[in-house]
C-alpha cells in the first residue's frame, strides 16, 4: 500500500532561522524579565575581555550565566566553583547557540553558611600546604625602629594605631593606604605587603589591620592572594582584622594575631617608660650587687691578711742567710785566688821553651823525610813516563810513509791531491804527481 504523502500547506508563512531565534528571545525576555536565582557556581572562567562565563546549577538543572566585566569587578567577594550564590539578572537567549542564559547584574553568597563553607575549604587547603605551621612563625623584634602599617588611610583604625604607638614608644611609622573591603581590596592588601618586603630599608614589623564588620566586609582578608602574600613576607607580620571574635585566614598565616588594631600596636612596640624603669631598677640592683661584692671581698681580704705573718718576720730569715753568705764569700775569696794561682803555675810548667823547640825539631825532621821520599817518587814517575814516550816515538817512526819511500817506493797523487791507487784512477787525470823520498815529479799518464 503506497505511503500517504505529507499534507503541505504551501500558503503557510516561511520564517528565517534568525527571525525565529529573535522571536523566541523576545518571548523569553518579555515573559520572565528580571529574575532572582539560587544555585551553585560551576565552570567559573574569566575571558581575556574581563567578562565572566559560568553555570548555575542545582540538583536537576543547569543554566548558562554571564557576568559582564563592569559587574564582575564590583563583586564584594571572589566567586569560585562550588560556592552557592544568589544571582539577580535578566533571562535571555543566545541565538548563536540556540541556548538560554541569565545575564547577572548582582550576585551575593547564599547566606553566611556558603561563605563559611568556602572559608573552611580554603583553610583546609592552606593548612595542608603547611602555611599555618607553627615553625614558620617569625619572632617579633623586641624594639623595632620602623613599623609598617597596611590599612585604610581614613577611619579610627589608623588613628588608634598611631596614637597607641606614640603613647608607648614614639618611632617611625610607614602607612601603606589600601582599600580594606570591596572591589580590588585583596589585591591592594597583597601588593602593600609585597611592597614593604621589596623596600631597601624594610620596616622591622608589619601590621595589617581593619575594623570590625560582617564576614562579607572582612572577606578580602580570606582571599588566597592575601594569604600567600602574608606567608611570603620576610618581615614579621601582625594581623589585626576585625574584632576579637572575628577570624580571617590571614590570622592563621600571620606571625602574631592581635584581637584589635590597638592591641597590634601594643604587640609591636614596648612601653618606653616601662623600659626606662626596668633599666633603672637593673642599674640599682647592679650597683647594690657590686657594693655587696666589694664588701665581701674586703672582708675576705682582711681575714686573709690576719692569717699572714708580718713582713719583718718574713725577712728575718732571709736577712740572716744573706749575712751568712756574705761572710762566707769574704773568707772564700783568698782560698779561690790561691787555688787559681796554683792551676796557672801547673799550666806554665808545661809551656817551657825547650819542649816547644823539641816539638818543632821533630816536625821539621818529619817534613825533611817526607820531602826526600816525595823527590824519589817523582823521579821514578818521570823515568817511567820517559820510557813510554820513547816507545811511542819508535812506534810512530815505524809507520811513517817516508821510511817506505826511502826503500824505493813512490806516492802518486791526482790533480786534486787525492791518492791514486789504480791505473784506472790514473787515466782519469791529465797530470799526476809522483812523490819520492827526495822530491816530487809531475808526469802525464
Q: What is the C-alpha R_g of the chain?
A: 63
Q: Beta strands 84-94 and 52-57: pairing type?
A: unpaired
**pLDDT band for position 107 (50/70/90)?**
confident
| 158-202 pLDDT tens trace | 999 999 999 898 899 999 999 998 878 899 999 999 999 999 999
Signed CA dihedral, 83, 89, 92, 93: sign only? negative
Please say whether the beta carbons of 210 and 157 come within 8 A: yes
Look at the chain and count its residues: 445
| 125-152 pLDDT tens trace | 888 999 989 999 999 998 899 999 999 9
| 402-442 pLDDT tens trace | 777 777 778 888 888 788 788 777 777 878 888 887 888 88
Smallest CA-to-CA distance from 235 within 252, 254, 220, 209 is with 254
Q: Give the chain's mean pLDDT.
A: 84
pLDDT above 60: residue 7: no
The architecture (CATH level 2) of 17-110 comes to Beta Barrel (2.40)
Q: What percentage of the chain exceeds 90 in pLDDT?
A: 24
Q: What percentage of the chain exceeds 70 in pLDDT?
A: 95
Residue 377 sits at the vertex; the CA angle it makes with 371 and 378, to the nearest 5 degrees, is: 90
Once rounded to an integer, what is the mean pLDDT over residues 312-319? 76
Please say whether the beta carbons of 86 and 30 come within 8 A: no
Window from 195-199, 224-228, 340-344, 394-398 with minimum mean pLDDT: 394-398
Give the per-residue pLDDT at 9.
Answer: 56
All structural domains of the chain with their residue ranges: 17-110, 118-270, 274-303, 329-398, 401-443
Q: Quick one: CA torsion of 155, 161, 164, 170, rounded to 10 degrees?
A: -120
Fold of 118-270: Rossmann fold (3.40.50)
Please say whether the beta carbons of 249 and 211 come within 8 A: no
Helix axes 224-232, 185-198, angle to 10 degrees: 10
Residue appearing with cell numbers 563559611: 116
What is the number of other CB atoms lying within 10 angstroms of the CB of residue 54? 21
Give the per-residue pLDDT at 214.
Answer: 79
Residue 10 sits at the vertex; the CA angle it makes with 4 and 16, to the nearest 5 degrees, is: 115
Give the per-residue pLDDT at 181.
Answer: 86
Which pTM value belongs to this model?
0.48
Q: How far apart are CA 104 and CA 443, in angstroms?
A: 142
DSSP symbols for 4-57: PPP---TTSPP--HHHHHHHHHHHHHHHH-EEEEEEEEEEEEE-TTS-EEEEEE
Once rounded to an integer, what is the mean pLDDT over residues 243-256? 87
Q: How far apart are CA 113 and CA 85, in angstroms?
A: 11
Once rounded to an integer, what is the mean pLDDT over residues 12-19? 80
| 225-237 pLDDT tens trace | 999 999 999 999 9
Q: How far apart are CA 84 and CA 93, in angstroms?
A: 23
Amino acid at each position: 500500500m503506497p505511503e500517504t504523502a505529507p499534507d503541505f500547506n504551501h500558503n503557510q508563512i516561511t520564517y528565517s532561522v534568525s527571525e525565529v531565534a529573535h522571536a523566541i528571545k523576545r518571548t523569553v525576555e518579555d515573559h520572565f524579565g528580571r529574575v532572582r536565582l539560587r544555585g551553585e557556581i560551576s565552570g567559573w572562567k574569566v575571558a581575556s575581555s574581563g567578562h565572566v562565563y559560568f553555570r548555575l546549577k542545582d540538583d536537576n538543572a543547569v543554566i548558562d550565566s554571564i557576568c559582564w566585566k563592569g559587574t564582575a569587578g564590583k563583586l564584594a567577594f571572589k566567586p569560585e566553583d562550588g560556592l552557592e550564590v544568589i544571582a539577580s539578572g535578566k533571562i535571555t537567549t543566545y541565538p548563536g547557540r540556540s541556548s538560554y542564559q541569565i545575564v547577572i547584574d548582582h550576585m551575593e553568597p547564599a547566606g553566611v553558611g556558603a561563605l563559611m563553607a568556602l572559608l573552611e575549604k580554603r583553610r583546609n587547603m592552606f593548612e595542608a600546604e603547611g602555611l599555618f605551621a607553627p615553625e614558620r612563625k617569625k619572632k617579633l623584634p623586641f624594639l623595632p625602629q620602623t613599623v609598617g602599617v597596611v590599612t585604610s588611610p581614613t577611619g579610627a583604625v589608623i588613628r588608634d594605631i598611631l596614637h597607641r604607638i606614640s603613647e608607648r614608644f614614639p618611632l617611625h611609622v610607614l602607612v601603606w593606604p589600601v582599600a580594606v573591603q570591596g572591589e580590588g581590596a585583596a589585591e591592594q592588601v597583597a601588593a602593600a605587603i609585597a611592597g614593604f618586603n621589596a623596600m631597601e630599608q624594610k620596616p622591622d614589623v608589619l601590621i595589617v589591620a581593619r575594623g570590625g564588620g560582617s564576614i562579607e566586609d572582612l572577606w578580602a582578608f580570606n582571599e588566597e592572594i592575601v594569604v600567600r602574600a602574608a606567608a611570603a613576607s620576610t618581615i614579621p607580620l601582625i594581623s589585626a582584622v576585625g574584632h576579637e571574635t572575628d577570624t580571617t585566614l590571614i590570622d592563621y598565616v600571620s606571625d602574631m594575631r592581635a584581637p584589635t588594631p590597638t592591641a597590634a600596636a601594643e604587640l609591636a612596640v614596648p612601653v618606653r617608660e616601662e623600659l626606662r624603669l626596668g633599666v633603672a631598677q637593673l642599674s640599682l640592683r647592679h650597683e647594690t650587687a657590686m657594693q655587696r661584692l666589694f664588701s665581701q671581698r674586703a672582708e675576705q681580704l682582711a681575714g686573709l691578711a690576719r692569717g699572714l705573718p708580718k713582713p719583718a718576720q718574713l725577712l728575718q730569715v732571709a736577712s740572716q742567710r744573706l749575712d751568712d753568705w756574705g761572710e762566707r764569700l769574704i773568707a772564700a775569696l783568698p782560698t779561690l785566688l790561691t787555688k787559681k794561682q796554683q792551676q796557672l803555675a801547673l799550666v806554665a810548667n808545661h809551656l817551657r821553651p825547650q819542649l816547644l823547640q823539641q816539638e818543632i825539631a821533630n816536625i821539621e825532621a818529619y817534613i825533611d823525610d817526607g820531602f826526600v821520599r816525595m823527590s824519589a817518587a817523582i823521579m821514578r814517575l818521570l823515568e817511567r813516563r820517559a820510557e813510554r814516550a820513547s816507545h811511542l816515538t819508535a812506534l810512530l817512526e815505524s809507520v811513517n810513509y817516508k821510511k817506505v819511500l826511502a826503500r824505493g817506493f813512490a806516492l802518486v797523487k791526482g790533480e786534486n791531491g787525492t791518492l791514486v791507487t789504480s791505473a784506472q784512477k790514473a787515466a782519469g787525470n791529465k797530470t799526476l804527481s809522483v812523490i819520492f823520498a827526495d822530491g816530487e815529479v809531475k808526469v802525464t799518464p
